[in-house]
Structure 1
Amino acid sequence: MSAQSSAVAQTVVQLMSQIQRRPGHEVAAEDTAGQHRLTIAELVLSSNRLANAFIGLGLTPGSRVAYVAQNHVEYVVLEFALLKAGLVKVPLNHRFAPNELRRCIELADVRLVVADDASSAVLDEVLDGTDILRVHIGPRDGWLNFAGIVAGGAPTSVQAATGPDDLYHIRFSSGSTGKPKGIAISHRGARAAILGNTWVMSSSGPVDRPRTLQVAPLVYAGGWSVLPTLLCGGTNVFMDRFDAEQMLEVIIRRGITWMFAVPTMLRRMSTLTELSALRESSLSCLMLAGEPAALPALEVVGQHTDALIQCWGQTEAPASTTLLSRTDMKHRELWASIGRPVPGVEFSVYTDGVVLDSPEPGVDGELVIRTPSVASTLLGAEPEHAERLLPDGWWRTSDLGHFDDAGRIYIVGRSSETIITGGTNIQPVEIERALEEHSSVREAVVVGVPDAKWGETPAAYVHLSEPWESVGADLDAWLKNNLAGFKRPGHIFVSPDPIPRASGESKIARGDIKKIVQSWVADPSGVPANVTRVEK
């Protein structure tokens, strides 16, 4: 094998090549109505044409192309075309504010943007005065049409030289800083992440050819299940946006066997009156990830399906790096665990400046991970990358946790979220879990706020299914029975509405919630009319 062939074998290009060798008549992707279907042969031809069209527009290997749109079948064509032309994918949330989009596009040095109706209006403002090319999924004045440039591209096969250290994508996350940073993943890293997800898919859903519902945003963790589905011989079924009732109907009507969801989706599923229909569906694996799953929602949904599993990963070290299996999910006491590492991924505990060779069960420390998928760099946050990357390839996750005696991992909080009250450390997740175990609590977020006596005290933002007046006394007694006095929130803000998220169905932006809650504590007159303020 030549050195060049060996290099290609360590890239996502090789995985694409494997997929393209599937029988041409098999369906690679379709929409939820079944009206827009793309076979393997059509995918190969359309991505050839798009890759050649991109080259004709002046893009060269290494150029960055942003996808700022909802979930569309066109995403798969774009994925393959970028791989063939040697271009770097930059997935961006279409809900970002103009200045957020502008910063991301500038940091990543984007040369072309692919958008849809959900994002094109704000992008017109962001891209005004730039020479960035614009491609629209569907017709729009002043934009190139996606289908049009595919039809106009040459059908000949093309493949840019690609090595394992070349960038595969740049994904943006604000983390705890509140400022977007570009997380650059190499082909070597992306290949490891995709194969890890493929292992999870093939081992967790006993189906030969999965039908995967792509309803979680593709610009976030949802995108990591597209190629695994194709590698497993399956079909991606694209749903443009999340709607709980429509999702349940699609699962049943379209024969969905596998899907990825964040806990917010699970919470909304748990409220559906027709949820019992899930038991009669073909669903064999419902993967949860993104944040600690809400216990009440797990209990409700778990009554109607045995398909639940939990995984964990970081945007800086994607994708599914752990797995809590279907067997483990049968035991409620294990739901707080993120499971065991998937093949090819190592975890340990970092304490006192040392990565432990053999972490002692039950002893907390900062979790560290070693996997090829760790980010090559963090654009706009280079010092953070240097600080978190340790010798021998270990990556500091910033999450605090421990192992049990069976090798399962438990996350107890983030080092940046630790609340220090009277010199004692408290992890918000412990208080959140105690709150969410109460039957009336749909969701809870706990943050630290300044306190004149103790330095800091916990404050909770709680989404209740019933008015505070009817459950407040019972919830207060519940907390007294389950939490030490210094852990009980000094302030509780109760809302009948779900806790807001900055980016659709993604995990909670804790930095934003902390600012909101701190402002309410400092100035109670600013508490919205729909939120009830409760003092300890």
Structure 2
Amino acid sequence: MAVNSASVAQTVVQLMSQVERRPAQDLAVEDAAGQRRYTIAQLSDASNRLANAFIGLGLRPGDRVAYAAQNHVEYVVLEFALLKAGLVKVPLNHRFAPHELARCIELAEVRLVLADDASAPALDEVLVDGEVLKTIIGSRDGWLSFADLVTGGSGARVQVATGPDDLYHIRFSSGSTGRPKGIPISHRGARAAMLGNTWVMSSSGPVAAPRTLQVAPLVYAGGWSVLPTLVCGGTNVIMERFDADEMLRVIAERGITWMFAVPTMLRRLSTSPELPRLRGSALSCLMLAGEPAALPALEVVSEHTDAMVQCWGQTEAPASTTLLSKPEMRSRELWSSIGRPVPGVEFSVYKDGVVLERPEPGEDGELVIRTSSVAPTLLGGEAEHRERLLDDGWWRTSDLGHIDDAGRIYIVGRASETIITGGTNIQPVEIERAFESHDGVREAVVVGVPDQRWGETPAAYVHVSALTANTAQELDGWVKDRLAGFKRPGHVYLSADPIPRASGEAKIARGDIKKLVRGWVEDPACLPKNVTKVVRTRG
């Protein structure tokens, strides 16, 4: 079906077309060492060839192509090739277990998978019937070579007709359930999300040609800044995986001006001996997003750079939908805010079954968002989508919060994580922030566990800088001074090791942590040797 020019202007294809009109010699992407790079002209040619190769393999518009790999420059070539061939990108976490990969591939009806050495073994366990094509960055028996596809494809310009309601990608998130669900985003929605990120980039770190360090996983939030960087006239600098020391060296030595990081990365940066390199660097915007940042880490890093801003988004409504600006970040009391909505995004409060027209400042409820980037459905979560999508396009975020008198948004917890103890509701984030305000705490996660007397009681899993004989007593006194007795955890687990994550540097998988901690409560014998339990009587 033909797509008119007005419709094309509402797609991600239009943003790609804008990028390809940049000067041919401009640098589009390079690896962190500067050894592998593509100019605009080279990127255009390579993506034409890959798009034609995909068509030659029998892929048709709307077919799904998965990327299950670490960060590589090939990701950017793939991005453009999929847009040209009218294919749907399916970013997959390469750390997923084989059964998780199998579920994602089945739900998304994937036709071809692009992998690297790290993810190929798990995929070989899953893709045994030959129905899904396998492409490798490098070489592997039984796999098509990505490089061979590019060199063997025709260089002729190709552009399949694409409309705003066609799918751009299907991203997978397990959220708090631990079971992956597919989140499809249309071209209209993806374009709006990318323009939101472009606005954040251009307003927070205005430079003539940004050099964006892509170190957060491109299969998650990192991928949303690839095209905005190019639209702003900049270059993507790709790091294969996160390492705090190496990242700080790259920032200083490769002229990085903009980057995205999740709070876990911030915590690692705050303890790196290379942190002073930020002071003399060209970094103009360090965008933080994800779970609330640990205050001690934020304080430490803020002593070395004033480039930090805070943003917020959901996988179901990407990407940067709010911004707490650099001037606002100078006020420590605002650090708990995710900022104000970016252009084209609305927020309100959902309370007692109604979206409030103008919420009173400080009035708590479930935050709702209205933007064209909201997912049209959830694969494997259709009932959840029907429950969360309200009239007039409002989307229930499942986050509890309020808006202040300046329009700034604050998240105080998640509806699904509320702990009900003795008939009283407690939000874990309040307890977590009490722990994390102590200099010796790197991170805290609080979940509800069964309690015979109270029905449920908070349990805290706390990552401390060092575990000494006095740590437990000191933290107990610290929290006692900051929380009411009924909010203080009945179980505290201390560890000098980081809290485990299911997906590398991504958010905490709270569902997994809840199962883990509940297991420790029910059977103390299964407590790992690196974890120390502290039990107190609730006040």
TM-score range, shorter chain: over 0.9
In structure 2, the partner of 1:155 is 155
Aligned residue in 1 for 2:314: 314
Matches within 5 A, 1:3-42: 4-42=4-42
Deviation track 1:20-79 (CA, whole Å, cap 9, x = no partner) reads 000000000000110101000001111000000000000000000000000011111100
For 1:273 and 1:18, the matched residues in 2 are separated by: 41
Which residue number in structure 1 is paired with residue 351 of structure 2? 351
Matched, 1:510 2:505: no
**Number of the residue aligned with 2:434:** 434
- The C-alpha deviation readout for 1:319-370, integer Å capped at 9, x for no partner, is 0000000011000000000000000000000011111110111110000000
1:192 matched to which residue of 2? 192
1:465 is matched by which residue type in structure 2? Answer: S
**1:278-297 equivalence runs, <5 A:** 278-297=278-297
Q: Give the distance between the partners of 2:314 and 2:468, measured in 1 at CA.
A: 36
* Separation in 2, partners of 1:351, 1:274: 47
Give the partner amino acid of 2:381. Answer: A
Q: Distance in 1 between matches of 2:448 and 2:366?
A: 20
CA deviation profile, 1:421-443 (whole Å, cap 9, x unmatched): 00000000000000000111110
Q: Does the alignment pair 1:138 with 2:138?
A: yes
Q: Match of 1:250?
A: 250
SS of the aligned residue for 1:318 comes to strand
Amino acid at match of 1:364: D
SS at match of 2:326: coil
Distance 1:22 1:277 in 2: 32
Structure 2 counterpart SS, 1:469:
coil
State the TM-score, normalizing by the size of structure 1: 0.99
Q: What's the offset of the Cα at 1:471? A: 2.2
| Partner in structure 2 of residue 97 of structure 1 | 97
- Answering whether residue 128 of structure 2 is matched by residue 125 of structure 1, we say no
Secondary structure class of the residue paired with 2:470: helix
What CA distance in whole angstroms lies between the structure 2 residues aligned with 1:233 and 1:280?
A: 24
Does the 8 A contact of 1:348 with 1:359 survive in 2? Answer: yes
Structure 1 match to 2:373: 373
Q: How does 1:217-228 map to 2 (within 5 A)?
A: 217-228=217-228
Q: Distance in 1 between matches of 2:425 and 2:122?
A: 43
Instruction: For 2:277 and 2:42, locate their aligned partners in 1 and report how far apart those are by CA, in whole Å.
Output: 35
Q: Which stretch shows the higher mean deviation, 179-188 or 135-144?
A: 135-144
SS in structure 1 at match of 2:185: strand
* Two-structure CA RMSD over aligned residues (Å): 0.8
Compute the displacement of 1:475 (Å): 1.3
1-structure distance, mates of 2:314, 2:274 = 33
The answer as to 2:49 corresponding to 1:49 is: yes
Determine the C-alpha separation between the residues in 1 that align with 2:276 and 2:252: 11
Q: How many residues align?
A: 535
Secondary structure, counterpart of 1:500 in structure 2: coil
d(CA) in 1 for partners of 2:434 and 2:5? 54
1:348 partner amino acid: S
Cα pair 1:369 1:396 within 8 Å, conserved:
yes
| Aligned match of 2:451 | 451
Q: State how far apart, in whole Å, the 1-side matches of 2:65 and 2:3 are.
A: 28
| 1:468 Cα deviation after fit | 4.4
Return the alpha-carbon distance in structure 1 between the equivalents of residues 277 and 113 of structure 2. Answer: 40
Q: 5+ unaligned residues in a row in structure 2: which ranges?
A: none
Residue in structure 1 matched with residue 498 of structure 2 by the alignment: 498
Contact 2:213–2:256 (CA under 8 A) maintained in structure 1: yes
Alpha-carbon shift at residue 130 of structure 1 (Å) = 3.3
**Aligned residue in 2 for 1:405:** 405
**Residue identity opposite 2:83 in structure 1:** L
In the TM superposition, what is the alpha-carbon distance from 1:208 to its structure 2 partner? 1.4
Provide, for residues 101-146 of structure 1, a one-character-per-residue CA deviation record: whole Å limited to 9, x for no partner: 0000000000000000110111111101231101111111211111
Equivalent residue for 2:482?
482
CA distance in 1, matches of 2:470, 2:126: 48
Q: Which amino acid aligns with 1:312?
A: W
- Cα distance in 1 for partners of 2:6, 2:386 equals 29
User: Displacement, 1:97?
Assistant: 0.2
Q: CA deviation at 1:177?
A: 1.6
Instruction: Please state whether the residue corresponding to 1:482 is helix, strand or coil.
Output: coil
Name the SS for the 1:327 alignment partner. helix
SS, match of residue 462 in structure 1: strand
Report deviation, 1:3.
6.7
How far apart, CA to CA, are the structure 1 residues paired with 2:476 and 2:177? 33
Shift of 1:274: 2.6
In 1, Cα distance between equivalents of 2:21 and 2:202: 19
Which runs of at least 4 in structure 1 moved beyond 6 Å after TM superposition?
A: none
Structure 1 residues 176-191: aligned runs within 5 Å: 176-191=176-191
Secondary structure, aligned partner of 2:506: coil
Determine if contact 2:167/2:185 at 8 Å carries over to the other structure: yes
Q: Secondary structure at the match of 1:247?
A: helix
- Equivalent residue of 1:363, what SS? coil
How far apart are 1:470 and its partner, in Å? 2.4
Change (3 A) 1:468 1:520: farther
C-alpha displacement of 1:206: 2.3
Q: Give the equivalent residue in structure 2 for 1:415.
A: 415
Contact in 1 for aligned 2:472/2:534 (Cα 8 Å) = no
C-alpha contact (below 8 Å) 2:245/2:273 kept by paired residues:
no
Change (3 A) 1:87 1:302: same
